Amino acid sequence: MSASSAPARVRDRWRDLKDGLAPAQDDRPDWFRSSPFVALHVAVLALPWIGFGAREAVAFVAVYVGGMFFITAGYHRYFSHRSFRTGREFRFVLAFFAEATMQKGVLWWSGNHRHHHRWSDTEEDVHSPRRSFWWSHVGWLLSNRANAVRHDLVRDLVRDPEIRWIDRWYLLPPAIVGGSFFAIGGWTLLVGGYVLGVVVLYHATAAINSLAHIWGTRRYATRDDSRNNLVLALLTFGEGWHNNHHHRPASARQGVRWWEIDLTFYVLAALQVLGVVSGVRRAAAPTRRSAALSVR
């Protein structure tokens, strides 16, 4: 490398980091960008000293239940797969409260998820457990590879100026929600209610990337390792019917049998009756022929 080219390379590298365009194959941890994620986990360790009571328990449940719905209905079923339609007001609500769970911006989340479906459990998959359980659960998120926003995969979302705005300021929703918890109950409620809820939410949703490609049964012979798992489905409001989902990604209904509990779909069905959403897509129950393709 010539001396004259070194400053330009450094400048280009800084610009790429600033814009979230780290090298595609750079799997090294980016501890600077990952510091908020690490700080949340460290903060939870302080709970024995700052206290945790009934108020914090109620707040934690509220954060988990509300956050899980906005992740599954917003980030996943609406923005990533467009499995239903809604107006601009509720679309913004979905994006705002999904971002309040601190799982980065709506364009980042949706772009990575669409990429996952395109390359699921291949070498190109950003978080396949075929590489390792740690990588699929948390390692990929800490890496430089995870910084980029895949704008080429979310062009439909980029056309919406309000979504572009909330994605750019994705730290604003957690600041507002977290600040509200602090204003009401100080550090105890902030950490015991909001931060604990966000941390548990992350690991519950990350389990779909990791455990749902390892543990469970397969109804459909999809090209990936996706599996159906009742325990994960209960924890994630229906996302655990992951083999069903990979078979019909555009369906808002992931629990296709009557006994496959899918809480997010039930809420979306109710919102459709109320006129808040429309065009909720529903995958048909498996036929005898599709059951014959089962690879359980």
Residue 10: inside a domain, yes or no? no
- Asked whether residue 179 is assigned to any structural domain, the reply reads yes
Tens digit of pLDDT for each residue in 13-47? 444 444 444 444 567 888 888 889 999 999 999 99
- In this prediction, residue 32 carries a pLDDT of 83
Output the pLDDT for position 15: 46
Please report, as a single letter, which amino acid is at residue 72. Answer: T
Joined tokens for residue 87: 């107006």
Asked whether residue 232 is assigned to any structural domain, the reply reads yes
Contacts of 153 (CB under 8 A, 6+ apart): 110, 111, 114, 115, 118
Cβ–Cβ < 8 Å for 136, 129: yes
Contact (Cβ atoms closer than 8 angstroms) between residue 227 and residue 214? yes
91 — phi, psi (to 5°)? -60, -40
Q: Is residue 15, in this structure, part of any structural domain at all?
A: no
Residue 121 domain-assigned?
no
Query: Cα 19 to chain center, whole Å?
Result: 21
Whether residue 82 is contained in a domain is answered as: yes
Is 156 domain-assigned? no
Q: What pLDDT, on a 0 to 100 scale, did the predictor assign at position 292?
A: 43
The parent domain of residue 52 ranges over 34-102+170-292
Residues of the chain where predicted confidence (pLDDT) is lower than 50: 1-6, 8-24, 291-296
Question: What is the pLDDT at residue 144?
Answer: 83
10 Å CB burial of residue 229 (0-12, 13-18, 19+) is buried
Task: Say how many domains are in the chain.
Answer: 1
| Cα torsion angle, 133, 134, 139, 145, sign | negative
